[in-house]
């Protein structure tokens, strides 16, 4: 991306550097603060915690095992589902695809409740037929729930990978080979790098989660971190205890980073969109059925639970009527986070695409906050921003926005990087020739070309922010709460009907925002394609 880097003081370069600085302040400053603060505290507070031994080593192994299994199985299942949904571009099925992606908003507790209820019913049936019951507990249960909970994230990443496949390669392959060979010899190898990215992200999200394993009595390292936080109330010792997780993150990110380099950094240049998506091969109908089965279970079971416990439309209205303030606040936080994430994420994405050795390092640094337990993000932000000089920011809406930026901006970087690389290079070269100045070319060619990426990142950040709890709880301004905070409050009270109603409301709001984004994307793509066809016609 050399088009906008003409001189050290050029507007493009300055803008890029400003974006990187904001990215650095938002993402890395809290992390650096935690590391430095821990480093300067008495060594006996944190040194013994750096190297897990005995019981802690066992817990770390448990976490790695769980992360490994979820990442492998989750990526495999997500690949099948993404492949199934790839052809669902129009009509009702395209909405099902969106609904599936929105399932990331359903709390893990609802998945657990859904699966627990399903197995209870199954056990009743088995008992009535004098058959042995199946106990839904322990590792197997934790793995199933965690996998189902994170499946939309993995599938979303893989769908993004499908979007960035070179259509010329696929269409050429389809001329010479049946669809089965196209899948095995072209699509699978081309998407392998993005599968690694998906596996890496799933691994990270699993090892920092304690909620699902603890529901099924599986002890993990993150639970130990929470116990340490409860016992010591000392962020330094918690940071030290989290360091092994961060260290594990580095090789995982190098592994997934290599995937990024081959997928995003060195793609074949292409300038068209794949119109005829290869059909699912006849020989793989069993896999198609498996994918459909998993998709139905992932979406259907929690939705059934939500509908069953919500009861009626009246109950749903009752649930949301007392929560307008929280709904409004959640919308503000989610929208602002999504909008503020885009400019710095754009700079970070461009940095990631720089063809230099530092791109792997940049990828590691970008994704490192994903391995940080959410409460630690909140504590770091309090330490950084809670001063009399910054009181205007601290205690305002900006704090949950900053927390969610730190937690989710890495994913926006990934999405934007994919879309930047999809820009037709001819446009950029033309802009180089005809632009009045860099800003002119940037605003008229570069930015409009990545609008679909902006919208996709906006939607993802919106959805994830709407569901964030751990960090938001620590920095939410007094007198305000997000809808997710209210859901967890009612969860404790046992108001399953209200919880289900609020979950439905959260999904509905995000679904509507997602639909709005999809419509904007559709309008924009049509407008862009129309212009492209016009230019091509003029050329000929």
Partner 1 sequence: MKRRGIIVIILSLVLFTCSFAGGCGQDEKTKSSVVLYTSVDQIYAEPILNEFEESSGIKVQAVYDVEAAKTTGLVNRLIAEKNNPQADVFWNGEFAQTILLKQEGVLTPYKSPSTQDIPENLIDPEGYWAGAGGRCRIILVNTELMAPEDYPDSIFDLLEDKYPADKVGIAYPLFGTTATQAAALYAYLGPEEGKSFFSALKDRGVQVVDGNSVVRDMVADGRLMMGLTDTDDAVAALEDGKPVKMIFPDQDKMGTLIIPYTTGLVAGGPHPDAGQQLIDYLLSSEVERKIFASGFSQVTVRPLGIEAEYLPSSGVKSMEVNITQAYEQLDLVIEELRQIYIR
d(CA 82, CA 164) in angstroms, rounded, equals: 13
Q: Does 433 bind partner 1 (CB under 8 A)?
A: no
Concatenated DSSP letters of 433-498:
HH-SSHHHHIIIIIHHHTHHHHHHHHHHHHHHHHH--TTHHHHPPTT---HHHHHHHHHHHT-HHH
Q: If you compute the radius of gyration of the chain from its CA atoms, what whole number of angstroms results? A: 24
Q: In the set 287, 495, 508, 518, which binds partner 1 (CB under 8 A)? A: 495
Cβ 303 to partner 1, closest distance in Å?
A: 19
Distance CA 530, CA 533 (A): 5
Round to whole Å and give the CA distance between 413 and 342.
Answer: 8
Phi/psi class of residue 280: alpha, beta or left (left: φ > 0; alpha: ψ in -120 to 50)?
beta
Compute the least distance from the CB of residue 399 to partner 1, in Å.
9
Give φ, ψ of 292 to 5 degrees: -65, -40
Please report how the helices 451-467 and 483-493 are oriented relative to each other, as an axis angle in degrees rounded to 10.
30
Q: Which of 32, 51, 55, 515 binds partner 1 (CB under 8 A)?
A: 55
DSSP state of 210: -
Residue (161 or 235) nearer to partner 1, CB: 235
Out of 44, 132, 176, 493, name the contact with partner 1 by CB under 8 A. Answer: 493
- Smallest distance, partner 1 to C-beta of residue 386, A: 5
Task: Give which of 32, 20, 8, 31 is closest to 352, Cα–Cα.
Answer: 20
Q: Which of 25, 29, 126, 331 binds partner 1 (CB under 8 A)?
A: 331
Among 167, 386, 432, 439, binds partner 1 (CB under 8 A): 386
Of the two residues 63 and 351, which places its CB atom closer to partner 1 in the complex?
Answer: 63
Q: By CB under 8 A, tell whether 346 contacts partner 1.
A: no
Q: Minimum CB separation from partner 1 for residue 184, in Å?
A: 40
What's the min distance (Å) between Cβ of 87 and partner 1? 27
Nearer to partner 1 (CB atom), residue 418 or residue 513: 513
Min dist CB 341 to partner 1, Å, is 13
Site string for partner 1, 389-408 (x = CB under 8 A): --xx-xxxxx----------
Coil, strand or helix at 236 = helix
343 binds partner 1 (CB under 8 A): no
Residue 192, judged by CB atoms within 10 A of its CB (0-12, 13-18, 19+), counts as middle
Between 223 and 365, CB nearer to partner 1: 223
Task: Rule CB under 8 A: say whether 235 interacts with partner 1.
Answer: yes
Residue ranges in 43-53 assigned as alpha helix (H): 43-50
Tokens matching residue 345: 């994420």
Q: Which is nearer to partner 1, 220 or 367 (CB)?
A: 220
Least spacing, CB of residue 149 vs partner 1, in Å: 14
Task: Pick one of 377, 457, 486, 507: the residue that binds partner 1 (CB under 8 A).
Answer: 486
* Max intra-chain CA distance, the chain: 81
Q: Which residues bind partner 1 (CB under 8 A)?
A: 55, 58-59, 116, 120, 211, 214-215, 217, 219, 223-224, 226-227, 229-231, 233, 235, 328-329, 331-332, 335-336, 339, 375, 378-379, 382-383, 386-388, 391-392, 394-398, 448, 451, 469-470, 473-481, 485-486, 488-496, 520, 523-524, 526-527
């Amino acid at each position: 991306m050399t088009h906008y880097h003409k001189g050290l003081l050029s507007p493009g370069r300055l803008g890029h550097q400003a974006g990187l600085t904001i990215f650095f302040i938002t993402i890395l400053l809290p992390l650096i603060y935690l590391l430095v603060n821990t480093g300067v505290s008495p060594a006996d507070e944190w040194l013994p915690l750096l190297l897990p031994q005995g019981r802690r080593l066992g817990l770390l192994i448990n976490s790695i095992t769980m992360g490994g299994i979820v990442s492998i199985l989750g990526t495999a299942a997500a690949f099948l589902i993404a492949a199934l949904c790839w052809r669902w571009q129009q009509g009702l099925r395209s909405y099902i695809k969106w609904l599936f992606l929105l399932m990331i908003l359903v709390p893990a507790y609802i998945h657990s409740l859904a699966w627990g209820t399903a197995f209870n019913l199954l056990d009743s049936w088995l008992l009535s037929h004098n058959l042995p019951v199946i106990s839904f507990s322990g590792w197997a249960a934790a793995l199933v729930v965690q996998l189902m909970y994170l499946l939309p994230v993995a599938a979303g990443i893989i769908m993004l990978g499908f979007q960035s496949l070179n259509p010329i390669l696929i269409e050429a392959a389809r001329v010479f080979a049946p669809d089965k060979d196209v899948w095995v010899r072209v699509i699978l190898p081309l998407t392998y790098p993005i599968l690694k990215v998906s596996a890496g992200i799933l691994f990270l999200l699993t090892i920092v989660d304690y909620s699902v394993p603890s529901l099924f009595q599986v002890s993990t390292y993150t639970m130990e971190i929470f116990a340490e936080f409860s016992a010591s109330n000392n962020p330094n010792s918690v940071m030290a205890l989290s360091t092994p997780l961060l260290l594990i993150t580095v090789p995982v990110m190098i592994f997934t980073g290599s995937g990024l380099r081959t997928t995003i950094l060195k793609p074949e240049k292409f300038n068209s969109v794949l119109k005829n998506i290869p059909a699912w091969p006849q020989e793989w109908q069993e896999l198609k059925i498996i994918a459909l089965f998993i998709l139905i279970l992932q979406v259907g079971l929690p939705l059934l639970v939500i509908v069953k416990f919500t009861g009626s439309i009246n109950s749903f209205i009752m649930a949301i009527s007392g929560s307008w303030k929280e709904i409004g606040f959640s919308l503000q936080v989610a929208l602002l986070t999504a909008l503020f994430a885009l400019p710095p994420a754009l700079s970070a994405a461009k940095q990631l695409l720089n063809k230099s050795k530092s791109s792997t390092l940049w990828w590691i640094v970008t994704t490192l906050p994903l391995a940080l337990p959410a409460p630690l993000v909140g504590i770091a932000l309090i330490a950084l921003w809670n001063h009399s000089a910054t009181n205007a920011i601290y205690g305002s809406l900006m704090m949950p926005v900053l927390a969610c930026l730190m937690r989710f901006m890495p994913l926006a970087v990934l999405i934007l990087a994919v879309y930047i690389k999809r820009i037709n290079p001819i446009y950029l070269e033309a802009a180089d020739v005809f632009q009045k100045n860099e800003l002119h070319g940037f605003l008229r060619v570069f930015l409009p070309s990545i609008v679909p990426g902006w919208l996709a990142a906006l939607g993802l950040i919106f959805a994830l922010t709407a569901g964030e709890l751990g960090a938001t709880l620590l920095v939410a301004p007094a007198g305000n709460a997000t809808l997710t905070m209210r859901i967890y409050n009612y969860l404790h009270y046992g108001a399953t009907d209200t919880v289900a109603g609020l979950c439905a409301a959260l999904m509905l709001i995000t679904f509507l925002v997602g639909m709005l984004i999809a419509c904007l994307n559709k309008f924009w793509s049509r407008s862009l394609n129309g212009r492209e066809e016009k230019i091509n016609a003029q050329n000929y």
